[in-house]
Chain A
Amino acid sequence: MSSTTVRRRPVTGYAVVLVGLLVAGLSYAVITQGTASAAPRGVSQQAQIAHGREIFLQECASCHGIFAQGVPGIAPSLIGVGAAAVDFQVGTGRMPAKQPDAENPRRALLLHPRQIRDLADYIQSLGGGPTIPTRAEVSQVGSDYGLGQQLFTADCAQCHNFDGASGALTYGKYAPPLTKSTPTQIFEAMLTGPEAMPVFNNTTITPQQKRDIIAYIVQTRTEPNPGGFSLGRIGPVTEGLVVFLGLLLFMVLMALWITAKHGKAHE
Chain B
Amino acid sequence: MSDSTAGHRPGDHEPSGHEPDDLMAGLSHSGGQDDDAHDAGPHRVIGTPSPATSRSLLGGPEGNGAGQPPAVQRELPSEPDDPVGAKRAERIVAACFLIAMFAGLAFIAAYFIFGVHTVTATQHSNLALGSTMALAFIGLGVGAVIWVRRLMPNVELTEQRHPLRSEAADRAAFKQTFEEGADASQFIKRPILRRTLIAATVPVAVAPIILLRDLGPLPGTKLDHTVWRKGLRLLNYGANTPIRPADFSSPGGMITVVPDGYQDNFDALAKAAVIIIKFAPGQVVYTTNNHPVPGKTVQNWTVDNIVAYSKICTHVGCPAALYEQTTHHILCPCHQSTFDATRGAQVIFGPATRPLPQLPMTVDAQGYLVARSDFTEPVGPSFWERGPSI
Contacts and interface: CB of A to CB of B under 8 A. Distances in A.
A27 interface: no
The 8 closest A-B pairs by CB, nearest first: A265-B85, A203-B247, A198-B254, A196-B324, A151-B238, A150-B238, A264-B81, A201-B250
B353 interface: no
Contact of A201 (B4, B253, B324, B329): B253
B97 interface: no
Contact of A155 (B1, B256, B327, B349): B256
A224 interface: yes
Interface of B: 1, 3-4, 13, 15-16, 80-82, 84-86, 89, 119-120, 123-124, 126-127, 145, 149-150, 154, 236-239, 243-244, 246-256, 277-278, 319, 321-327, 329, 331, 333, 336, 338, 349
A159 B322 CA distance: 6
A62 interface: no
Given A102-B326, A204-B247, A265-B150, A224 B123 contact: yes
B209 to A, nearest CB: 39
B346 to A, nearest CB: 15
A171 B327 CA distance: 10
Contact of A170 (B278, B321, B349): B349
- Which has the most chain A C-beta neighbours within 10 Å: B15, B127, B145, B239? B239
Contacts of A203: 244, 246-249
B238 A224 contact: no
A102 B329 CA distance: 14
Contact of B127 (A154, A200, A227, A261): A227
Is the interface on chain A under 10, 10 to 19, 20 to 34, or 35 or more residues?
35 or more
A258 interface: yes
Nearest to B277: A198
A197 B247 CA distance: 19
Contacts of B324: 169-170, 173, 196
A76 to B, nearest CB: 9
Contacts of A93: none
Nearest to B258: A154
Interface in A24-55: none
A179 interface: no
Nearest to A168: B333
B154 to A, nearest CB: 6
